[in-house]
A and B are shown apart, each in its own frame.
Chain A
Amino acid sequence: MSNPTMISATVATDPVADDLDLKARGPKPKPFFTPKRIVLYSILVVACLYYLFPLYVMVMTSFKTMPEIRFGNIFAPPLEITFDAWVKAWSTACTGLNCNGLSPGFWNSVKITVPGVIISILVASVNGYGLVNWKFKGSEVFFSILIFGSFIPYQVMLYPLVMITRELGIFGSLPGVIFIHTIFGMPILTLLFRNYFASLPEELFKAARVDGAGFWRIYFEVMLPMSLPIFVVALILQVTGIWNDFLFGVVYAGTQNYPMTVQLNNIVNSAQGSPEYNVNMAATILTGLVPLIVYFVSGRLFVRGVAAGAVKG
């Protein structure tokens, strides 16, 4: 190994290098393709193949015709790209009694997700805000039980909630399933908002109070405008969570309002006759498209949102 002092001594006495400021600085750069690096990248690439493989198969299969699929080569790209399977999946595939494809399911999912996201986020953000700035006796206790309750398996509360929603007249309807999503979204979202509001400077709130503003005014005029980042995170969490849900949709939404996930499962697993794999795959992609788009568009924020949902206490 060369002696660093020797190098600097040599370089330091070179008048030309001095003049042109060409002295070597910093540690000697390592060559890129060391064996260690090659192994590292190979492992990562292999891992990526594992993650990308199903996506590749989904897409390829959906563009093939059934005779082609029966050839039995899931790696092969389609000989000719056909959109027949996609059209069938969207408009004529059979989901139980009806054969209207996935499009009713898609619109149901939209009708469930949009109000569900808005309501659950509004309720939870007000909760978080109240817990931080307007503590009252017992508020922390309720919050702790809320968080504790988020660990209870849904199955435990499934049937009594059926009875409650029946009493309220919303069982088997869109408001019913939206109601359920609001309830079960509350723990994580409230935690998210509470942590965020707790990190805002207290002076802001105090100044507004001094100005004579009350609970709601401060919420709308001070807190909301400052909370855009956390609202985006909550939005991402809820859109993916509600859109991808299956259990609540199948129990509380009612047959007319089944979300896309339930319709998808019906198309594939309850099909009569020989299965049409290309239609199945096209339907699967269609169902996964919305949360995937949200994921790719929001990138880093998604990671932060998911990790934020993981931060406890």
Chain B
Amino acid sequence: MANAEALSSLPRRGVAGWLRNLVTRNVSAKIAALPMIVTVLVVFIGCTGWTIWYSFTDSGLLPSNEFVGFAQYERLFRTSRWNVSVWNLIIYGSFSLVFTLTIGFVLAVLIDQKVRLESAFRTIMLYPFALSFIVTGLVWQWIMNPTLGLQGTMRNLGWESFTFDWITDPDMVLYAMLIAGLWQGTGFVMVLMLAGLRSIDDEIWKAARVDGIPPWRAYLFIILPMMRGVFVTAVVLVGAGIVRLYDLVVALTGGGPGIASEVPATYVYDYMFTAGNIGQGLAASTMMLVTVLIIIVPWAYLEFGGKGRKS
């Protein structure tokens, strides 16, 4: 440690005083927090800023400094692959959100009915969550194989007209992806909802029964509103996962057939690394960021009530 006497003769006020405090007060804590500070500044703020800045340049294989305004974005919005990707994500995202929450909630309600073997049911429903999206994508790709998977099997067993070739059908491939995605994600939401249900006071149930309210009404109009917090958390988590959708697409369909299951994340990766067009990749990822901000910022504002107030 520096010489205490010398330090104590330094000014205490103003900028110099602030500098002095910066270096002497709580030094260990500051050093220990250095990784966090560096990460926040360099990675989250710095890299994001770099990406946004350079999305306005003419970068190809390597970043260039030639400023081209909104040219990358104009090209982006004119590219059918991008527009298809965005639309795919919207469809997949909406269905995924609605179904994951609904199925998760319903399953949680069912399990909460003092079911025996609750642990077994929970373990079975949650294990897919422990798997990689690659594993999930590949096993469902095999199951949905038209010749040798489910469709082939049913036909060989005698059900000649059974059709399940969604994975090769450009109009239905997103729904095939949905089946795989729900398989992986619903168990987690179910566990969240179950925790929320369990945290509701027993008195509420008793009061509802005494008042003669039928169970389904009690769930819809009393319990659901009380679980607002859990629902919000679930929505945020599922939503954050949807925007990042990448591994599942790569494993299940590779973006196909054609571009029928492309998503923004695959667009970014392909243009940035495979096609050597960094500018497009940066513009696309900036658009992904904008989408996330549009969803997160209003939520954060509602939850935490503006700057300065922590929840």
Contacting B at CB under 8 A, from A110-163, are 123, 126-127, 129-131, 134, 136, 139-140, 142-146, 148-149, 151-161, 163
Interface stretch (choices A3-11, A88-96, A203-211, A238-246): A238-246
Complex contact B40–A149 (CB within 8 A): yes
Interface stretch (choices B8-16, B47-55, B79-87, B167-175): B47-55
Residues of chain B within 8 A of A152, CB atoms compared: 44, 48, 289, 292
Which A-chain residue is minimally distant from B282 (CB atoms)? A159
Contacting A at CB under 8 A, from B158-193, are 183, 187-188, 191-192
Which of B28, B233, B272, B273 has a CB less than 8 Å from the CB of A311?
B233
Contacting B at CB under 8 A, from A283-313, are 284, 287-288, 291-292, 294-296, 299, 302-303, 306-307, 310-313
Contacting A at CB under 8 A, from B67-106, are none
Residues of chain A within 8 A of B292, CB atoms compared: 151-153
Residues of chain A within 8 A of B124, CB atoms compared: 48, 51-52
Which B-chain residue is minimally distant from A283 (CB atoms)? B138
Residues of chain A within 8 A of B240, CB atoms compared: 151
Q: Does B251 contact A (CB under 8 A)?
A: yes
Known A47-B107, A295-B127, A307-B195: A161·B40 in contact at CB below 8 Å: no
Which A-chain residue is minimally distant from B139 (CB atoms)? A54
CA A154 – CA B44 in complex, angstroms?
10
CA A140 – CA B36 in complex, angstroms?
11
Interface stretch (choices A17-25, A77-85, A227-235, A260-268): A260-268
Q: Does B237 contact A (CB under 8 A)?
A: yes
Which of B131, B139, B244, B296 has a CB less than 8 Å from the CB of A154?
B244
Complex contact A47–B125 (CB within 8 A): yes
Residues of chain A within 8 A of B36, CB atoms compared: 123, 127, 142-143, 146, 186, 190
Contacting B at CB under 8 A, from A253-282, are 261, 264-265, 268-269, 277, 280-281
* Most chain A beta-carbon neighbours within 10 Å: one of B47, B150, B273: B47
Residues of chain B within 8 A of A226, CB atoms compared: none
CA A74 – CA B147 in complex, angstroms?
11
Residues of chain B within 8 A of A243, CB atoms compared: 132
Complex contact B150–A74 (CB within 8 A): yes
CA A291 – CA B141 in complex, angstroms?
21
Measured CB to CB, the closest approach of chain A to B67, in angstroms, equals 18
Known A40-B110, A265-B250, A295-B130: A127·B32 in contact at CB below 8 Å: yes
Complex contact A126–B246 (CB within 8 A): no
Complex contact B127–A156 (CB within 8 A): no
Which of A127, A134, A306, A311 has a CB less than 8 Å from the CB of B35?
A127
> A28-67, CB under 8 A of B: which get 1 and which 0?
0000000000001101100110111111011001000000
Q: Does A164 contact B (CB under 8 A)?
A: yes
Chain B residues touching A, majority SS: helix
Q: Does B257 contact A (CB under 8 A)?
A: no
Complex contact B134–A265 (CB within 8 A): yes
Complex contact B129–A130 (CB within 8 A): no
Q: Does A26 contact B (CB under 8 A)?
A: no
Contacting A at CB under 8 A, from B113-164, are 113, 115, 119, 121-135, 138-143, 145, 147-150, 152-153, 155-157
Residues of chain A within 8 A of B156, CB atoms compared: 71-73
Complex contact B39–A183 (CB within 8 A): yes
* Most chain B beta-carbon neighbours within 10 Å: one of A151, A164, A214, A247: A151
Complex contact B143–A57 (CB within 8 A): yes
Measured CB to CB, the closest approach of chain B to A172, in angstroms, equals 12
Q: Does B260 contact A (CB under 8 A)?
A: no
* Most chain A beta-carbon neighbours within 10 Å: one of B36, B42, B155: B36
Complex contact A307–B191 (CB within 8 A): yes
Interface stretch (choices B201-209, B216-224, B303-311): B303-311
Measured CB to CB, the closest approach of chain B to A118, in angstroms, equals 14
Residues of chain A within 8 A of B29, CB atoms compared: 130, 134, 136, 139, 215
Considering the complex of A and B, which 9 residue pairs feature the smallest CB-CB distances, nearest first?
A: A149-B44, A215-B28, A244-B132, A134-B29, A160-B47, A295-B130, A157-B47, A72-B152, A155-B285
List 14 additional contacts besides A54-B140, A287-B135, A302-B126; criterion CB under 8 Å: A40-B115, A44-B115, A54-B143, A73-B156, A74-B143, A139-B29, A142-B33, A145-B40, A156-B286, A157-B43, A243-B132, A244-B132, A246-B132, A247-B247
**B residues with CB within 8 A of A:** 25-26, 28-30, 32-33, 35-37, 39-40, 42-48, 50-51, 63, 107, 110-111, 113, 115, 119, 121-135, 138-143, 145, 147-150, 152-153, 155-157, 183, 187-188, 191-192, 195, 233-234, 236-237, 240, 243-244, 246-247, 250-251, 254, 264-265, 268-269, 272-273, 278, 281-282, 284-286, 288-289, 292, 296, 300, 303-304, 310-311
Listed by A's residue number, 14 A-B pairs whose Cβ atoms lie within 8 Å are: A57-B142, A70-B148, A74-B149, A74-B152, A127-B33, A146-B39, A157-B47, A159-B272, A159-B281, A216-B28, A240-B130, A264-B134, A287-B135, A299-B123
